[in-house]
């Protein structure tokens, strides 16, 4: 069927060739042109179909519908036109001649404008491709928040990749387009009776500006679709009272800590998800990439969205990147696009209206540390933990200041996880020796995109790098947990292991069935005795999100929460339904996308402090 559609297209092209470019219109010439065009146009079109558009078959067309065939017909027409023009120039039916154009201010402006529009369109197009390849299903809220968040300490490979791919591709395509725009030629058709100029100065300018506008419109449309930019309308224009109506303020909630406060060790496992499990366990792998972590999971509590042991939270708005995940589990809220640009940007202005997990534990006398191998200022991580709980920030900078690594030491995002675990053992021991209950939070990094960091100590049983990184990283996590379990404080310590978000290493998931639902790994070890007898049905078939972990982690520490809700999160150990279970996932997610006056006026700013009147300030300046 594809070949038949291409043949019809080739015959249409042949008619144009006979009418405009054939001086001897006898049967032999017509037949020769038709056969040649059918063969060449179908050959090129099928090659594009197979290798560019990734169609698996072109002879067995049972899996394709009318839309596919119409697309192929259109493709054959485009290929035919290009082939016809190429043949016409070769056979001298069309020739290039000196255009002798007048260079006025108007023509210069049109050329510059056309190139500028084309460049913007290329930037949107290639930037979208890079964003999707680099970060997977990144959405508008994540895009905007990351653009306005601090980026100091980011892995330099990210910036190199930006310049090597979207920036270079945009420059290259714009340069080629500029050659066309600034060239000075006309195209003359040598007809049977007379010569006709079919492409002159005016046509050149019109086509240049049309191509520029078309590229810009196409790039924006592509980005709009892929990045779900309709969410920007929701984030800034459409309003919802959902968060305000369902928010439970921890300040106003009766919360009772046990007499003997439990220690908490919270480990964010970078990009750790259940798809790395074998298929028989609900994963996507033929062979389980994390057998040690799987074995460990049977010793603790896993909250699953399926009827199996393994599953995890659903991917709600404002949850699917590292800092957002931390905000979710600290506040019981999604990370929303701020009304003001600097809402996540400074030490004293990171969710100043929220009363968080860290604030709560500080007020209960806990000693607290956050440890990451990168620069803590990246994404505002250190700002979040300093403002909300006065955590000690143990990051790449701190390790240099303490002489643990040389000043010029930079591996991966800072220092690698092999060092992270060793430093963590020393820091946890220090926390224990203070005699206070402690909260130790850390995030791994070796499984970050692209393709992870493979330790020199790691075995390589798998053919691809990322699988080896995952296998080694999870085995090291389990070794660390086993060390904790041997310490004198373990009996009174709860451990939380959770993937911070789904992996953004898109190459690894390129061949996944799009209907397979990927979820974050989660595990709570050694929870408090008062939740030890939680009914089994509360651990399976749950509809929940990262922000439900805020009250859930507190409950795992033996904390009693009246009503079992904090923020918009629900204690999963309780029989209280989550907001997803109560209202439905699609409804809640749609509401969370929208602008929330409650968030803007009570969380993103401190409602107890008078806000500066920016209008008055501007008037004063003037």
Q: How do beta strands 195-199 and 185-190 pair?
A: antiparallel
Give residue-wise pLDDT tens across range 182-228: 776 666 666 666 666 666 667 778 888 999 999 999 888 887 777 66
| 3-state DSSP helix/strand/coil % of the chain, to nearest 5 | 50, 10, 40
* Other Cβ atoms closer than 10 A to 33: 21
Q: How far apart are CA 390 and CA 382, in angstroms?
A: 10
**Torsion, CA 277, CA 275, CA 476, CA 525, rounded to 10:** -80
Q: For position 342, what pLDDT does the model report?
A: 47
Left if phi > 0, otherwise alpha if psi is -120 to 50, otherwise beta: which for 271? left
Measured distance CA(594)–CA(590) in Å, rounded:
7
- Is the pLDDT reported for residue 315 higher than 50? yes
- Residues 401 and 399: their CA atoms lie apart, in Å, by 6
Radius of gyration over every alpha carbon of the chain, rounded to an integer in angstroms: 30
- C-alpha span between 484 and 493 (Å, rounded): 9
pLDDT in tens, 578-622: 999 999 999 999 899 888 889 988 998 877 776 654 444 433 333
User: What pLDDT score was predicted for residue 411?
Assistant: 92
- Cβ-Cβ contacts under 8 Å for 14 (sequence gap 6 or more): 30, 33, 34, 37
Region of poorest pLDDT, from 59-68, 304-313, 315-324:
59-68
Q: What's the gap between Cα 514 and its chain centre?
A: 16
- pLDDT the model gives residue 485: 98
* pLDDT 10s digits, 52-73: 887 867 777 777 788 888 888 9
E strand or H helix that includes residue 199: strand 195-199
**Joined tokens for residue 251:** 């300040």
Say if residues 505 and 451 touch (Cβ distance below 8 Å).
yes
Residue 343 has pLDDT above 60, yes or no: no
Measured distance CA(453)–CA(473) in Å, rounded: 9
Q: What tens digit of pLDDT does each residue of 441-486 get?
A: 999 999 998 889 999 999 999 999 999 999 999 999 999 999 999 9
- State residue 615's pLDDT score: 40
* Averaged confidence pLDDT in the chain: 86
Residue 622: the pLDDT is 35
**Lowest model confidence (mean pLDDT) among 117-131, 494-508, 583-597:** 117-131
Q: How far apart are CA 291 and CA 452, in angstroms?
A: 19
The pLDDT of 244-253, averaged and rounded, is 96
Of 543, 496, 510, which Cα lies nearest the Cα of 330? Answer: 496
Please report where in the chains the tokens 């078309």 appear, as a residue: 214
pLDDT given for residue 377 in this prediction: 82
Is residue 563 over pLDDT 70?
yes
Please state the length of the chain: 622
pLDDT band at 298 (very low <50, low <70, confident <90, very high): very high
Rounded average pLDDT over 239-244: 92
Q: Tokens for 327? A: 């905000």
């Amino acid at each position: 069927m594809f070949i038949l559609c291409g043949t019809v297209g080739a015959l249409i092209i042949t008619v144009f060739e006979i009418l405009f470019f054939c001086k001897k219109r006898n049967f032999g010439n017509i037949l020769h042109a038709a056969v040649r065009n059918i063969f060449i146009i179908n050959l090129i079109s099928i090659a594009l179909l197979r290798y560019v558009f990734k169609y698996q078959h072109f002879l067995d067309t049972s899996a394709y519908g009318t839309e596919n065939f119409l697309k192929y017909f259109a493709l054959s027409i485009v290929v035919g036109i290009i082939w016809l023009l190429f043949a016409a120039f070769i056979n001298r039916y069309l020739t290039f001649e000196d255009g002798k154009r007048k260079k006025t201010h108007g023509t210069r402006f049109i050329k510059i404008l056309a190139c500028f529009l084309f460049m913007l369109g290329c930037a949107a197009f290639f930037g979208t491709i890079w964003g999707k390849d680099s970060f997977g299903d990144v959405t508008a809220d994540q895009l905007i928040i990351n653009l306005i968040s601090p980026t100091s300490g980011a892995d330099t490979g990210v910036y190199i990749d930006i310049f090597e791919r979207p920036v270079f591709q945009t420059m290259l395509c714009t340069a080629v387009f500029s050659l066309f725009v600034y060239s000075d030629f006309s195209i003359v058709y040598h007809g049977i009776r007379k010569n006709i100029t079919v492409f002159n100065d005016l046509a050149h300018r019109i086509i240049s500006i049309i191509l520029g506008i078309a590229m810009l419109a196409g790039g924006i449309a592509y980005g709009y679709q892929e990045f779900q930019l309709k969410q920007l309308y929701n984030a800034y224009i459409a309003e919802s009272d959902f968060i305000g109506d369902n928010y439970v303020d921890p300040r106003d909630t009766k919360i009772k800590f046990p007499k003997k406060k439990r220690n908490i060790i919270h480990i964010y496992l970078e990009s750790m998800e259940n798809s790395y499990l074998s298929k028989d366990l609900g994963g996507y792998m033929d062979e389980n990439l994390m057998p040690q972590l799987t074995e460990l999971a049977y010793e603790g509590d896993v909250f699953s969205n399926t009827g199996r042991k393994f599953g995890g939270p659903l991917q709600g708005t404002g949850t699917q990147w590292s800092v957002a995940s931390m905000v979710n589990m600290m506040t019981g809220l999604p990370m929303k696009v701020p009304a003001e640009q600097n809402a996540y940007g400074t030490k004293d202005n990171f969710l100043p209206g929220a009363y968080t997990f860290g604030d709560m534990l500080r007020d209960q006398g806990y000693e607290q540390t956050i440890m990451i191998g990168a620069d803590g200022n990246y994404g505002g991580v250190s700002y979040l933990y300093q403002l909300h709980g006065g955590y000690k920030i143990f990051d790449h900078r701190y390790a240099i200041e303490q002489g643990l690594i040389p000043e010029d030491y930079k591996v991966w995002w800072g220092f690698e996880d092999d060092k992270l675990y060793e430093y963590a053992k020393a820091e946890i021991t220090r926390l224990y020796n203070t005699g206070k209950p402690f909260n130790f939070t850390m995030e791994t990094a070796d499984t970050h995109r692209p393709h992870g960091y493979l330790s020199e100590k790691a075995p390589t049983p798998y053919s691809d790098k990322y699988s080896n990184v995952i296998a080694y990283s999870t085995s090291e996590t389990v070794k660390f947990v086993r060390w904790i379990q041997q310490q004198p404080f373990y009996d009174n310590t709860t451990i939380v292991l959770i993937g911070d978000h789904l992996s953004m290493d898109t190459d690894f998931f390129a061949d996944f069935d799009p209907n397979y639902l990927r979820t974050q790994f989660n595990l709570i070890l050694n929870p408090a005795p008062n939740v030890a007898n939680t009914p089994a049905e509360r651990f399976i078939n749950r509809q929940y999100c990262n922000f439900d972990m805020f009250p859930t982690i507190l409950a795992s520490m033996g904390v009693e929460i009246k009503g079992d809700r904090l923020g918009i999160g629900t204690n999963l150990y309780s029989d209280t339904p989550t907001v997803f279970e109560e209202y439905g996932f699609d409804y809640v997610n749609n509401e969370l996308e929208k602008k929330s006056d409650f968030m803007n006026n009570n969380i993103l700013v401190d409602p107890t402090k008078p806000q500066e009147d920016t209008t008055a300030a501007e008037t004063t300046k003037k």
